[in-house]
Structure 1
Amino acid sequence: MKRWHIAKDWVLVWGFAFILAGLILYIGYLSSGAEISIEKPQKLTNESAHAVSASPAIKTEKNNGANGVSVTESEQMMTNSLNQDPELQEEIKLVLGEKNLVNASIGIKDFPSPVNGKPIRNVGNYYSKAFGNYVYHAGLDYALSEGTMIRATHGGTVIEAGPDPIQGQKVTLDCGEGWIITYGGLDNLRVQEGEFIETQGALGQVGLFPGSEGESDQPQLHYELWHNGQVQRIVP
């Protein structure tokens, strides 16, 4: 009876020891698992941050806009590829409409007639009594009342503003992409060279000048549109 009591005590001692050891191992396992779950995302985050800082394709550049939006070089590369792929541009036009096309090219449709009414002279060759020969007229002439305010049909940078020996005073705008507009027969100019003029910005008033052939005493606006060195015919 005494031996059984001693053996029973040892069983309890060893059983308690095994249970305690198991608890210690279990707690250690949980602790190591928690460290792994915390360190792994940290490692991934550091690697991702290193990749972002090392990759020039997604390097960000600050934008000085009021909303502080940043533009990435990858977005710029995407825009450049879009502008260089005419087939892709046509597909986007069909899906989104022409107004949603990024950096759509300027066309002759963007240069409407500067005033209402039909021109008194269009682009073409005309016989000039003053010169006694045919001369090429590179624009359109509109008969207007003296003092009529003339506004830009398209925004651009003023590359010339001042007197002209034939056209009175004139203003020439560089609208980009090879588009050049000249407004002749003006007076009281509102612009100067180097200034950027928005669409419908005031340029000056129609003045009284002899006319492009030196034969007309009627106030008129002379309007020329050029693209890549070629005169463009505008439908009034």
Structure 2
Amino acid sequence: MMITQQHQKNISIQQQLQINLITQMMKISSQNQQLEQEVVYDVCYNTQCICLFFECVLNNIYYQYQMSEELANTVYLGGIPEDITVEQIKHLFITFGEIKSVDLPIDSETQKNRGFAFIEYEDIEDAEAAIDNYDEGELFGKIVKVKPAKPYKPKSFYTKPVWHSEDWQRKNNEEYTYKERVRREKQKKRDEEERKKEEEKAKKYQKKQ
């Protein structure tokens, strides 16, 4: 996937990250056709999913993001009303300390927030105070979760959404996952081999008769 230097200047950071991700996937795909599920299927193509770089929880689905060590002063705010604004979040959580930024992901289809946000404080102590005082608290009539946005060290450049429940994943994604397709293809091949063996046995038996 080639893009000119002039085009790069006009592309936003989020779009550039998407391009880089897909480009690397294509390179690896050409080297190894038996890619793991997390590279081929379960890469999150949502711009915000790629660019937020945190671990968050929404509707029993875990999104796993890369988070740098210096952002340990960031908290995850989940279960928020869909019509809440960045200004309202700042107004409520500035009580615990100076806020550096608030990231409120918006759904591209509904144009409403995705039910969670990230609040970055100037100091780690302020983030801890927000967690201690507001976790399981009420926000506009809803009980919200305030948790640390935990950093993790990925094994490679690629990450995959980590589903909350294996049962959920099996019921919702089994028909479409790369590993499931491979398993079915192998099973189909084994069944075909068994069928041929049975046919050969039947032919040999008929000749003896």
After TM superposition, the score normalised by the length of structure 2 is 0.24
**Structure in which a larger fraction of residues adopt strand:** 1
Say which structure, 1 or 2, has more relative contact order (CA 8 Å, 6+ apart): 2
**Structure in which a larger fraction of residues adopt helix:** 2
Rg comparison, structure with higher value: 1
After TM superposition, the score normalised by the length of structure 1 is 0.22
